[in-house]
Chain A
Amino acid sequence: QKEVEQNSGPLSVPEGAIASLNCTYSDRVSQSFFWYRQYSGKSPELIMSIYSNGDKEDGRFTAQLNKASQYVSLLIRDSQPSDSATYLCAVFVDSNYQLIWGAGTKLIIKP
């Protein structure tokens, strides 16, 4: 059974600080990884995708991937109250063309 694990939180971070969200996955052959943000009562929104080891930066967001450790993370710099949401990690499984989803980490940014 392929799995994606996330700490459910809530993770509380002061405004302006760096929020660090972590995700581990079990499928060693996965090549594609995604972070989605879901506000309460809304649908998931794709914010980052990463396919290669290392860091990928997009504005205040940085995704980090370490395939050897089967670990992907999302850093949010200069956290804002508007970043308060649940962050979902998803891993693409080539064998059945599906995303396997983590349960999400609830992030709270304190003003």
Chain B
Amino acid sequence: GAGVSQSPSNKVTEKGKDVELRCDPISGHTALYWYRQSLGQGLEFLIYFQGNSAPDKSGLPSDRFSAERTGGSVSTLTIQRTQQEDSAVYLCASSLSSLSYEQYFGPGTRLTVT
């Protein structure tokens, strides 16, 4: 079946603009995770959803970052007033549930803030 999809694949934006990144998980997967990976660095956890609720928002770097998930499926990560340090690859992963530990990743969105 189809894997995790993300859009856009690349996004270039000017500093101060808002951006929205989209993730469509594997069908039937109830848990969804957002990560950030800066060039040459490891994975930084941002937020996860079980269904439409986000039990853990502790990884969001600042209040400029927010995420939502509707219908237990598609999720949107929004970054307001982007800064150059927001430049990174934003990865989304899904798993069958929060109790099913295997996470499957989408191809990522490369965000460049100029």
A contact set with B: CB distance below 8 Å: 32, 34, 42-46, 49, 88, 92, 96-99, 101-104
How many contacts A-B (CB < 8 Å)? Answer: 43
Tell me the complex Cα distance, A20–B104, Å: 24
Of the residues A43, A96, A102, A104, contact of B107 by C-beta under 8 Å: A43
- Residue in B31, B102, B106 whose Cβ sees the most chain A Cβ within 10 Å: B102
The 4 closest A-B pairs by CB, nearest first: A103-B42, A43-B105, A97-B98, A92-B101
Contact A46 B48 (CB under 8 A): no
> Could you list 29 examples of A-B contacts with CB < 8 Å?
A32-B101, A34-B101, A34-B102, A42-B107, A43-B89, A43-B91, A43-B105, A43-B106, A43-B107, A43-B108, A44-B43, A44-B91, A44-B105, A45-B105, A49-B101, A49-B102, A96-B56, A97-B50, A97-B55, A97-B56, A97-B98, A97-B99, A99-B45, A99-B103, A101-B42, A101-B43, A103-B41, A103-B42, A104-B42
Range of interface residues on B (Cβ < 8 Å): 20 to 34
Beyond A44-B91, A102-B42, list 18 extra A-B contacts (CB 8 Å). A42-B107, A43-B107, A43-B108, A44-B43, A44-B105, A46-B103, A49-B101, A88-B42, A88-B43, A92-B101, A96-B56, A97-B48, A97-B55, A97-B56, A97-B98, A97-B99, A98-B56, A99-B103
Tell me the complex Cα distance, A103–B43, Å: 7
By a CB distance below 8 angstroms, the chain B residues around A96 are 56
Of the residues B45, B99, B106, contact of A98 by C-beta under 8 Å: B45
